[in-house]
Amino acid sequence: MAGLEQLLASREIAVFAGSGGVGKTTTAAATALMASTHLGGKVLVLTVDPARRLANAMGLRSFGNIETPVPAEAFEAAGIRPRGQLWAAMLDTKASWDDLVRRHAPDPRTRDRILANPLYENISGRFVQSHDYIAMERLHEIHSSGRYDLVVVDTPPTRNALDLLEAPERMAEFFTSRLLRLLTAPSRSRLLTLASRPFYEVADRILGSQFLGDISEFFSLFQTMEAGFIERARAVQRVLTDRRTTFAVVTTLEAAPVAEADFFIDELVRGRHHVGAVIMNRTLPQAMLAPSAAGAADIVRERSDELAAALLDGPDAATAARVLVEIGANFRNLELVARREAEHRRRFAGRAATLAEVPWLAEDITDLGGLSRLGEQLRRPVDPSAG
Amino acid sequence: MGVAPPLLDRRLLFVTGKGGVGKTTIAAALGLLAAREGKRTLVCEVDAKGNLADSYECGPLAFDEREVQPGLFAMAMETEASLREYLSLNLKLPLLTRIGPLASIFDYVAAAAPGVREVLTVGKLCWEVRERNYDLVVVDGPATGHVVGHLAAPAGIRELVSVGLIRNQTQWMLDLLDDPAVTGVVVTALPEEMPVTESLELIERLDHETGVDLAQVVVNRVLPELFGRTEEEVFDRLREPWNTMRLGELVGSPVGPLLDAAEFATSLRRSRVEHIGRLRDELAGRVPMLYVPELFSRTHGLRSTRRVADALEAELL
C-alpha cells in the first residue's frame, strides 16, 4: 500500500477533515513539513486556529492571514535539511470576508456601505456556514495563484462534516434563492404581492419594521455582488472535486470520532471526492494486544510479593510489590483501550488510498524536530488488519 | 441577584468545552446525578449530533422531551420547532396555518437576523426554567466557539432590534441568564494544551460578552497517579535491563510491554499535570475545579455515564 508521501506527490491540495479534538491541525502541519522535506517544492499549511505551541514549534511567533515562511533557523535547530520550502498561514475569517467584499463590490461606494453596515459583521460571521465557505474560498484563492506546489488545509471544526463540502454550493444557492428575493423585496418595492404579505406581517411582528428595513437594505447591497459571488462559489466547488485535490480524514480510534469519520468518508465518496488518506491519530501501540503480555500482567499482579522479593531486598521489595500491582493493573487498563482501538482500526481497511497511524505521544510537540518525527510516522503506511 | 448556590441547586446549567473533550458525557452525567438526587431534570442536546442519546442508550431524541431514566428527561433542540412553539404560545396567530410551511419563515428570520437561531434555543431553555417545569435544566451546549454566541444572543438582539416582539421577549431571558442563583456555565476541559487554552479564552469571553456566571470547571479524563516518589525509584530499577530480564524469566514471558505501558502512562500523566496546573493557576481559585478520572473504557453508553456521574458525585457531594 502506498504511503502519504506517494499520495501527496501527485496532488496540489490536501484537505484535512475530522471531528474536533482529534489533532487535525498538528497532523496537517506535520504532513506539510514531511512533504516539504521529502518531496521538495513550495508547501503551504493553511491552518484555522493553531496552538501557540505549534506556531512556536514552526519558529513563528504567530501567523496571521499573511503567508509566512518557516525560518531556516528553525530547520537548522531541528537538524532538518528540507528539499523544499515550508510556509504557514492562518485563516482569519473576518479579514477574508472583507477581501471578498472588496473584490466583488461593483463600486467603492457600495463596498464601503457594506463594510460599514452594522449587520455585516454579524451576518458575515453567521449565515450559510460562512467559516466553512471562507476556508474553501481562501484555499481556492491561494491555489489558483499558483504560488505553491502543495497546499495542506486544516479545516474549521464543523457541526457536521458535510457543511464543509456543501458550503460553496449553498453560497451560490443563497444568491439565487427565493429567500434573498424576499429579503430584498421591501427595499425594492413597497408593493407586496398578496402571497408574500402574510410573511411580512409575521416577520414584522417578530422583528419590528425598522430592523426588517435594515436587513433588507443590507441584503440589497449584498446582492450587487451576485455575479462575482456565484462564479466564485462554483469555482471553489470545482476545486474540491478536482483530481488534483485529495482529502485526508483524521480521527482518533475512539467511538465518536470514528463514527464521524466513517460518515464523512461515505459522503466524500458519494460526492465523488478523492479520499486519499485516513489518519488514525493518538493510538496505543499494538504490542499491547499480545496475549502473552496480558498473561504477564495478571501474573505480576497476582504474584507481586513473591516476584518483588526475588528481585529486590528489604523495604524495596515491599515497594516493588506495590509497583508490580500497579504495572499489571495499568497494562490491563490500556490493553482494554487498545482492543477497542483494534476493532475501530479494522473498519478503515480499504476505505482510503492510504492509511496512516500516529502513536499517542506522551509529550507535547514543542519544536520542529517533534513535528518532523510526527511527519515521519505519517509516512509509514499501516496494515489495518494487524492485531 | 442571588449568591451562587451549589452546582446542582442552580436551575440552568450550560455545559460547554472544546470539541472532543467529552462535554456531552459530562452533561449527561450531571443530569443523571441530579435525577438521582431527586430533582426533576431535563437534559437538552443543542448540537444534534446524537451523542446524548448514546450516553443514555435511549434511542434518537426529538424536540419533545422523553423520560429516559426515572425523573430524567432528554430532548434534542430544533430551532424550527422552538419557533413554532414560541409563536403558538405568544403570537396566537390563527394566520399561521394559512401562510404555508413555517420553514420558509424560519429560514428568513434565522438567516436575516443574527442571533435569532440562538435566541430560539436559549429562549426555549429559559422558558422551561421560568415555567418551573423542571428543577434543573442541563444543556449539552455548543462547543467553545459557539456558546458565547448563544449566551450573548438575547443582549445582542436587544441592541439590534429597537421594537418588536423579539425585543420584548429578551428581558426576562436576561434576568434568568444573568442571575448566578439560576444560571451557570460548566466549562469542560481535557488536561491538554488546546482544550486548556480554549477554556481560558472562553472564560474571558464569557466575562466580557455576557453576564452569565461561570459555575464550574470540569477536568475530564485525568490519569491516576501510578507511582509515588519512592515507587518511581523502584520502577526505574525494574527498568534496568538485568531486572527486566530477571522479572521476565520469573513470570515466564517478556514483561517489556508492561513496563513500556507503565512508562507511557507515567509520562502522559506528567505532561497532563502541567496543563492542569496552568488551568488552576489562571483560574486562581475563582471557581472550584472538578476532576473526572480517565475511565479506560472509551465507550459512551449508560454504564459509562453512570461511572462519570459517580465520579462527579464523589467530588460534588
CB atoms within 10 A of CB A118: 12
Candidate from B166, B247, B270 with C-beta closest to A311: B247
Nearest CA in chain B to A215: B112
Strands, E assignment, chain A = 13-17, 42-47, 68-69, 85-90, 150-154, 245-251, 275-283, 354-359
R_g over Cα of chain B: 23
- Distance (Å, whole) CA B106 – CA B112: 10
Cell of B217: 470547571
Mutate which: A187, A194, A210, A211, vs B, most B CBs within 10 A: A211
CB atoms within 10 A of CB A72: 12
Contact A215 B300 (CB under 8 A): no
Min Cα separation A187/chain B (Å): 14
- Distance (Å, whole) CA A362 – CA B268: 4
Residues of chain A predicted below pLDDT 70: 1, 49-51, 122-130, 157-162, 177-212, 362, 384-387
Asked if A19 reaches chain B (Cβ–Cβ under 8 Å), the answer is: yes
DSSP A88-153: EEE--HHHHHHHHHHHH-SSHHHHHHHHH-HHHHHHHHHGGGHHHHHHHHHHHHHHHHT--SEEEE
Asked if A206 reaches chain B (Cβ–Cβ under 8 Å), the answer is: yes
Asked if A159 reaches chain B (Cβ–Cβ under 8 Å), the answer is: yes
Q: Find chain A residues with C-beta within 8 A of B111's C-beta.
A: 127-128, 179, 183
Cell of A39: 518531496
- Distance (Å, whole) CA A229 – CA A226: 5
> What mean pLDDT comes out for the span B275-289?
94
Q: Is residue B286 classed as helix, strand or coil in its secondary structure?
A: coil
Q: Tell me the residue type at B110.
A: A
Size of interface A-B (CB pairs under 8 A): 218
pLDDT tens digits, residue range B12-49?
999 999 888 999 999 999 999 999 999 999 999 998 77
* pLDDT value of residue A315: 85
* Predicted complex ipTM: 0.84
- Distance (Å, whole) CA B236 – CA B21: 32
Q: CA torsion sign, B68 to B73 to B78 to B80?
A: positive
Q: Find chain B residues with C-beta within 8 A of A51's C-beta.
A: 193-194, 197
Q: How confident is the model at residue B106 (pLDDT cuts 50, 70, 90)?
A: low
* pLDDT value of residue B143: 81
Q: CA torsion sign, A313 to A319 to A322 to A328?
A: negative
* pLDDT value of residue B158: 78
Asked if B199 and B189 touch (Cβ cutoff 8 Å), the reply is: yes
R_g over Cα of chain A: 26
Cross-strand partners of B14: B139, B185
* pLDDT value of residue A96: 83
- CA distances from residue B283 to B190, B207, B277 in whole angstroms, order as listed: 15, 13, 10
Query: A44 phi and psi, to 5 degrees?
Result: -115, 135
Contact B270 A316 (CB under 8 A): no
Asked if A117 and A74 touch (Cβ cutoff 8 Å), the reply is: no
* pLDDT value of residue A387: 46
Asked if A65 and A50 touch (Cβ cutoff 8 Å), the reply is: no
- pLDDT greater than 80 at residue B298: no
Q: Residue A151: which of A92, A82, A67 has the closest Cα?
A: A67
* pLDDT value of residue A231: 84
In the 3-class helix/strand/coil scheme, how is B213-244 assigned residue by residue? Answer: CEEEEEEEEECCCCCCHHHHHHHHHHCCHHHH
Please identify among residues 218-277 of chain A the ones whose CB lies closer than 8 Å to any CB of chain B.
Answer: 219, 252, 254-257
Cross-strand partners of B279: none
> What mean pLDDT comes out for the span B2-9?
80
- Distance (Å, whole) CA A382 – CA A358: 10
Asked if B80 and B106 touch (Cβ cutoff 8 Å), the reply is: yes
Min Cα separation B6/chain A (Å): 30
Size of chain B, expressed as the number of residues it contains: 317
Distance in Å from the first CA to the final CA of chain B: 25
Asked if A316 reaches chain B (Cβ–Cβ under 8 Å), the answer is: yes
Q: Tell me the residue type at B276.
A: I
* pLDDT value of residue A338: 93
- A71 CB burial (10 A radius; 0-12, 13-18, 19+): middle
Cell of B160: 439590534
Asked if A336 reaches chain B (Cβ–Cβ under 8 Å), the answer is: yes
Q: Which stretch of DSSP H or E encloses residue B85?
A: helix B79-90
Lowest mean pLDDT segment, chosen from B98-107, B196-205, B260-269: B98-107
- Distance (Å, whole) CA B317 – CA B315: 6
Q: Tell me the residue type at A236.
A: V
In the 3-class helix/strand/coil scheme, how is B235-281 assigned residue by residue? Answer: HHHHCCHHHHHHHHHHHCCCCHHHHHHHHHHHHHHHHHHHHHHHHHH
Cell of A103: 473584490
- Distance (Å, whole) CA B135 – CA A202: 34
* pLDDT value of residue A54: 79
DSSP B140-168: E---HHHHHHHHHHHHHHHHH-SSSHHHH
- pLDDT greater than 70 at residue B156: yes
Q: Tell me the residue type at B271.
A: S
Asked if A72 and A180 touch (Cβ cutoff 8 Å), the reply is: no
- pLDDT greater than 50 at residue B1: no
Contact A323 B18 (CB under 8 A): no
Cross-strand partners of B216: B186
Q: Position of cell 492485531?
A: A387
Contacts of B83 (CB under 8 A, 6+ apart): B102, B105, B106, B109, B120
Candidate from B54, B105, B268 with C-beta closest to A362: B268
Q: How confident is the model at residue B194 (pLDDT cuts 50, 70, 90)?
A: confident
DSSP A245-274: EEEEEEE-SSHHHHHHHHHHHHHHHHTT--
Percent of chain B predicted with pLDDT > 90: 64
Asked if B220 and B25 touch (Cβ cutoff 8 Å), the reply is: yes
- CA distances from residue A360 to A22, A250, B282 in whole angstroms, order as listed: 11, 14, 27
Cell of A381: 503506511
Exposure letters B202-241 (e unless 16+ CB within 10 A, then b): bbebbeeebbbbbbbbbbbbbbeebbeeebeebbebbeee
Q: Residue A85: which of A156, A149, A174, A175 has the closest Cα?
A: A149
Exposure letters B271-289 (e unless 16+ CB within 10 A, then b): bbeebbeebeeebeeebeb
Q: Is residue B124 classed as helix, strand or coil in its secondary structure?
A: helix
- Distance (Å, whole) CA A174 – CA A238: 18
Cell of A187: 427595499
